[in-house]
Chains A and B, each alone.
Chain A
Amino acid sequence: MKDQLNIPTHLKFRASYLFFILYNILIGVGIVEYPRRVYNYAQQDSWLVLILVALIAHSIVAITIFILKTYKSTDLYGILQETFGNWFAKLICYLFIIYFFTVYLSALAKYTEFIVVFIFPQLSKFIIGFLITILIAYSIYGGIRVIVGVSFLFFLLTIWVFGLLAVPASMIDTNNYFPLFNLDRNGLLQGLRVSAYSFIGIEVLWFIYPYVRNKDKAMFYSQLGVLAAVVILFISVIISIGFYAPKQLESLIWPVLGMYKIISFSIFERLDIFAVSYWIFIILPNLILYAWLITRSLKRIHQIKQKHSIWAIIILSAIGLYFIQSSIKLEALLDVADISSIFFVFLFPILLFPFAIIKRIRGTKK
């Protein structure tokens, strides 16, 4: 037990907030295009694929929390340091930082793309991205409690947006769901692969776990958070399949935003423009959590103050945004995030699992 993190009590939060953190980090830009991505491979059985991925994700959360519990109160860096030594821990954490940054940048670029396409075609992505990063920097300056608060608040602010999908849901053609179970093995595997992107974010547990005050409840609330995200994903997939014609769903880049185009109130005619603007409340906690993850890991490795490293992120993301103006480059970046997520989200905890078991067995022998 050489590296136990001593988080001051005033920085710790109750386990129930893990629910909001996990929900917020899972529901972000990915959901907007998820129905199309999975439909390309799994057609009307997409929802089945989602349920399978969700089961895997739930077990990954269980494994992650099991490992973290084994090592009492430390984060990923501490665990790796204890098991593999200093330099290997640093290497893995660096990989994680690069991965976090890729995800962060792709999410930021994706959201700025929405704004450019739907609202201000003449505005540079650079400016929009810069304005958003100011908000992110503000939250990082506020520290962990502000970030947790943002997650909680924005959950309440945004959850009703998905309720609006009741309007397209009323226009569903039930013929689209049948025949059921028409899925071949290739479709299933490919569907599972593209679904991984929607579960990026479970890794947040590796770094936020030490901050939880009542750790015995951590498992329950993180599973609940994942479940909430799965329910939202499930709803959006089911409605998209019923609402669009098959070829239409395959061709639409953002089917979920497209569904808001059909909603119209007499005082608010174009809900899609509202939805795109309002989506920032969904994206923001997401981006803030990633920025926090990056700065936090840098602090663990090099004791760099988070208030300093955040500026490095802002500058780097500005440069990044400058280079990915076209949607093709953005797709390439997303693919990188997509493939690496399979390793960092799904494989990594499984690889670490045996070491945790060994440690537990040794612990009981002593």
Chain B
Amino acid sequence: MKMKIKKFFLILSIVVLLTGCAEERVLEDLGIITTAGFDKGEDGPEVFGTFITYKFSQQLSNVNSPIHSSGRTAQDAFHLAFAKTAKKLVTGQLRAVVYGPDLAKEGIWPHLDTLQRNQFVSDLVYITVSEMPSREVLNAQVFEEAPNVGIYIYRLLDQVIGKEEIVDSSLHEFIKNYLKVGVDPITPVLSIEEDRVIVTGLGLFQDDRFIDTIDLHEAFYVRLILDEFKAGELQIELPTENYRQFMEDFEPSPEEETFEITMQQIKSASQISPKDSGKYHFSIKIRFEGDIRELTKELDLESKEVIHMLEKDMAKKIEENISKLLEKTQELNVDSLGFGTFWNAKFKGDKKLTEEEWRKEYPNFQFDIDVTTEILRHGITQ
């Protein structure tokens, strides 16, 4: 029995003493970075870094005071920031990285590679681009209940992506799309408005170079093709002309040429299949269903005829918008929707697209777009 007690205390002391062997980290002594921004330095090849950290003191919680530092690389800028704060900077809680437009236009892969190599950085970090230098975005003073602007940006993106407005843009997604032949990465674009950070659209990349932005309206169609909606929302403009006869019951004669219709609870599914016809030919089939939430003109929704007309016209409009979007990507030569991967998944050998061929041929890709829509309900009124 005595032996057992002795043994127990021996083991206990080992357990207690050995925990001291590893490095200790006192929470209050750490500068926990939540968001980092990188810009091109003013002179030469320098990278200008902005770092937002947690503050544990109660009184200071509403003041945004980013740490700035510049270095030759992103890692260097981070490393040199140690001299600008009394806390030990750590990256384990990094939630978002913002790249300034100048830097992003030159390519962000070298900077992403450092992030990826760092085991402490999560793969779920949001990668974003800003319209103005990132230091201005991170200098925003309004960040609602969030403890700092970094967390605010994270919550903002979480909310926007959760609402199915834009596609996911984690570090993992970006790296995956960058490294894959046949698809280009996309990221959200951040801007600043009345001292608060906002999402303005999606940034299209060619490889790792930021090329252009599309607005949130167009971003809807990116998602429509790439992903499926479970509860999306869409506003569409339709010509009044065809519907005049159904509007007469409500108002004499509408003057506007067009009216708006808003769809909610959109469920969608898309299917992209390459076709072998000597050219790079793709058929895009989209099934789309939802509820009417808003009409700017009153329509007789009782009649089946109107519903069918609406369905048909909406489908046509969506097809138009998609082909506009695709034309835009072809002009910019960015295959953000990844048609190249669909091609390569179907064909092997000589027909497979190499990286160069894909870049060269993408502007000549041909698309057949076929959208079918269905209106399920029209709210709680007729």
Measured CB to CB, the residues of A under 8 A from B are 117-118, 120, 122-123, 127, 131, 173-179, 182, 244-248, 251, 258, 261-262, 264, 269-270, 272
Give CA–CA (A270, B348) in the complex, Å.
Answer: 39
**B175 close to A245 (CB less than 8 A):** yes
Q: With contacts A245-B176, A248-B175 known, is A258 near B123, CB below 8 A?
A: yes
Of B23, B122, B342, which one neighbours A264 at CB under 8 angstroms? B122
Tell me the complex Cα distance, A182–B21, Å: 51
For B346, what are the chain A residues with a Cβ–Cβ distance below 8 Å? Answer: 178-179
B119 partner residues in chain A, CB cutoff 8 A: 117-118
Instruction: Let me know if B345 is at the binding interface, CB within 8 A.
Output: yes
Picked from B21, B122, B176, the residue with its CB within 8 Å of the CB of A270 is B122
A-B contact pairs, 14 of them (CB 8 A): A120-B22, A123-B21, A131-B18, A175-B338, A175-B345, A179-B345, A182-B348, A244-B176, A248-B176, A248-B180, A258-B123, A262-B123, A264-B124, A272-B122
Given A258-B123, A270-B122, A245 and B179 contact (CB-CB distance below 8 Å): yes
Q: Which of B23, B172, B344 contacts A262 (CB 8 A)?
A: B172
What A residues does B239 contact at CB under 8 A?
A: none
Given the complex, which residues of B lie within 8 Å of A251, measured CB to CB?
179
How many angstroms between the C-alpha atoms of A177 and B170 in the bound complex?
22
Closest to B272 in A: A175
Contact, CB under 8 Å: B341 / A247: no
B122 touches A261 (CB 8 A): yes
What is the bound-complex CA distance between A291 and B265, given in angstroms?
60
Residue B162 lies at the interface, judged by CB distance under 8 Å to chain A: no
List of A residues within 8 angstroms of B70 by Cβ: none
A-B pair count, CB < 8 Å, reads 60
How far apart are the CA atoms of A244 and B122 in the complex, in Å? Answer: 16
10 closest residue pairs by CB, A with B: A175-B345, A178-B345, A245-B180, A247-B179, A261-B123, A245-B179, A245-B176, A179-B348, A248-B179, A175-B341
Alpha-carbon gap, A269 to B120, bound state (A): 12
How many Å lie between the Cα of A168 and that of B365 in the bound state? 32
Chain A contacts of B347 at CB under 8 A? 179
Please give the distance in Å from A103's CB to the nearest CB on chain B.
26
CB distance from B122 to the nearest CB of A (A): 6
CB nearest to A246 among chain B residues = B180
For the complex formed, measure the closest distance between the CB of A339 and the CB atoms of chain B, giving whole angstroms: 30
Given the complex of chains A and B, what is the CA–CA distance between A264 and B172 in angstroms? 14
Contacts of A246 in B (CB 8 A): 179-181
Chain B contacts for A122, CB-based, 8 A? 22-23
B65 to chain A, nearest CB (A): 25
Task: Kindly list chain B residues whose C-beta atoms are within 8 Å of the C-beta of A245.
Answer: 175-180
A120 to B19, CA, bound (A): 12
Neighbour of B23 across the interface among A120, A182, A248, A258, CB < 8 A: A120
Q: How far is the CA of A270 from the CA of B95 in the complex (A)?
A: 12
- Shortest CB-to-CB span from A82 to chain B, Å, is 43
**Across the interface, which residues of B come within 8 angstroms of A123, CB to CB?**
21-23
CB distance A262 to B124 under 8 Å? yes
Residues of B near A173 (CB, < 8 A) are 176, 341
B34 to chain A, nearest CB (A): 12
Known contacts being A123-B22, A131-B18, is A175 close to B124, with CB within 8 Å? no
Q: Give every chain B residue within 8 A of A270 (Cβ-Cβ).
A: 92, 122
State how many angstroms separate the Cβ of A45 from the closest Cβ of chain B.
Answer: 11
In addition to A248-B180, A272-B122, 20 A-B residue pairs with Cβ atoms within 8 Å of each other are: A117-B119, A120-B22, A120-B23, A123-B21, A127-B21, A131-B18, A173-B176, A173-B341, A178-B345, A179-B346, A179-B348, A245-B175, A245-B179, A246-B181, A247-B180, A248-B175, A251-B179, A261-B122, A262-B172, A269-B122
